Structure 1
Amino acid sequence: MGTSFWFDQEFIKQDYTEHKLPKGDYENCRFVDCKFAKGFLDNQNFVECSFEGCDFTNTNIAHTIFNDVTFVDCKMVGLQFETCNPLLSTFQFKGCNLSVASFYGMNIPQTLFEDCKLHQVDFTQAQLKECTFHVSDFKDATFDDTDLEQADFTSAINFNIDPTVNHLKKSKFSKDGLIGLLKKYDIVVT
């Protein structure tokens, strides 16, 4: 059975939790309010696609390529992004809930995370150079041996980043956000 190719298509309010999205290459496609939760989205190729209001909770995305893909207002709880095909992986996340997701060891420079919920996300050993984290919430997120060079945290909240075990050269923080770099020292700032 061959791989199918979809170009410039819209998929609206589709439920792929019981019937898997057909295996194939999707280019410049738009997915709106689709359900993938607890399903399989593995071994797919998405190029210049957008996902809007979709539910990916605990979806298997192993070996999938996301090249220039935008996620808007999506529920992406528990996704293991490090299982994706790392070749050409480029994302943008806007208004997404990525809680309990993992980007362990990924190389995703210049990724935009805008107005995202990043509770308990694992960024261990990730390469996040020049990433932007506008108005994103990092409650209980893990940063360990993470490259955050030139990353922008100026409007991010609830992060706890140890500067002694992460790479922060020229990263941007607001004055109010500096406490997130000092939590390990148990300092009281008033």
Structure 2
Amino acid sequence: MQELLHENKVFEGITYAGKGISGREFDGCTFKHCDFANSDLSGNSFSECVFDNCNLSMAKLNGSKLQDVTFTNCKLMGVDFSGCHDFLFSVAFKGCTLDYTFFGKKNLKKTLFHSCSIKEANFTDTDLTQATFAQCDLLRTVFERTNLEKADLLTAYNYAFDPEKNRVKKLKISAQGALGLLAKYDLVVK
């Protein structure tokens, strides 16, 4: 990975845990079974890349560009996405562990979260318009001043947030999920 530009390459089984990589551009690359836990990946550009079965827990992404990046069956615990470059920021998550992640102030319109654990994550001031949380566990995840208009939480579970502190027009939720919107009232529903 010493080159500055990598196009359409497959990186498999690479261990960069606790190390740093910066100033690199990855276009159309696939990362399989790679370990980037506690790595500093700041200042890199990832465009149309796929991370498959990788560990990126606690990785630093400050100033990194993530454009059309898909994470499948990855660990991303504790990752702070708020420092990523905003221009063309576009990600999708399938079967990932996103516990304790921070997405503050990110534009995540139409983002797909499918079969993910998103426990104690934070979406403060985030735009989740038309985002989909399919079969996701949102236990103790924070939604504050979040735009959830037309978002789909029909099959998501364990979420609880104040609809008065978020934009929820046309939010799709299940009847069971609606109880999570009433949590602040400490009601007994039978």
Task: Tell me the TM-score normalised to structure 2 length.
Answer: 0.96
Show the 5 A alignment for 1:52-91.
52-91=52-91
Q: CA RMSD in A?
A: 1.4
Matched letter for residue 142 of structure 2? T
Deviation per residue, 1:36-92 (Å, 9 max, x gap): 111111100011000011111111110001100000011000000001111111000
Greater mean deviation of Cα atoms: 19-28 or 78-87: 19-28
Structure 2, unaligned runs of 5 or more: none
Which runs of no fewer than 5 residues in structure 1 stay unpaired? none
Asked whether the 8 Å contact 1:3–1:23 carries over to 2, the reply is no
Give the match's secondary structure for 1:31. Answer: strand
1:26 equivalent to 2:26? Answer yes
What SS does the aligned partner of 1:164 have?
A: helix
Q: 1:9 to 1:183 in 2, by over 3 A?
A: same
CA distance, structure 2, for counterparts of residue 69 and residue 143 of structure 1:
23
Query: Structure 1: how far apart are the matches of 2:55 and 2:76?
Result: 6
Which residue does 1:40 correspond to in 2? Answer: 40
- Cα distance, 1:16 vs structure 2: 1.1
Aligned runs of 1:164-179 on 2, under 5 Å? 164-179=164-179
Could you tell which deviates more after superposition, 131-140 or 3-12?
3-12
Instruction: Give % identity.
Output: 34
Q: Which residue of 1 aligns with 2:143?
A: 143
1:187 CA drift (Å): 1.2
Query: Which AA in structure 2 matches 1:165?
Result: K
Count of matched residue pairs? 189
Q: TM-score, normalised by structure 1?
A: 0.96
